[in-house]
A = this chain, B = another copy of it.
């Protein structure tokens, strides 16, 4: 396969990112790829926040993966800064290619570069394959993740 580039997501990448968010058993029910307006507004907001890193993985110019890394300073654990990984998606054509590992390793390296002491993420309890994937990368599933819809 061709060379892979991981780079900040541009507004032009939004259609391909949203298509990946929607091409997923959970995402299919909660995304609206037919109306990109709210995604473009969110992208503008993400670009304005220096602690948000929305990236795409591109192979031969084609967007094949995405991930959001958020940097969060805090007091606990002796003033640790932590990072949070959200919205990891791999294009259907690339699943099993090792791209997921490359994206998560990028996020871990970037977290180190930004002096984070902890990387965290949550994964829906139904995504058991994803849980094994994160455990193989060294993550420990030590927590329960709670959500409240507003």
Contact = CB atoms under 8 A, between A and B. Distances in A.
Given A72-B84, A74-B87, A150-B112, A41 B79 contact: yes
B31 A76 contact: yes
A108 B150 CA distance: 8
Q: How many copies does the complex hold?
A: 2
Given A139-B146, A150-B119, A68 B74 contact: yes
For this complex, into which size category does the number of interface residues on chain A fall? 35 or more
A96 interface: no
Contacts of A108: 148, 150
B143 A139 contact: no
Given A79-B39, A143-B125, A150 B49 contact: no
Query: In terms of DSSP, what is the predominant structure of the interface of chain A?
Result: mixed
A75 B145 contact: no
A76 B27 CA distance: 8
A84 to B, nearest CB: 7
Contact of A118 (B42, B70, B142, B147): B147
Interface in A72-93: 72-81, 84, 86-87
A57 to B, nearest CB: 15
Given A42-B81, A112-B150, A142-B147, 11 more contacts: A30-B77, A46-B75, A51-B51, A72-B84, A108-B150, A118-B147, A120-B122, A140-B147, A141-B145, A142-B146, A143-B144
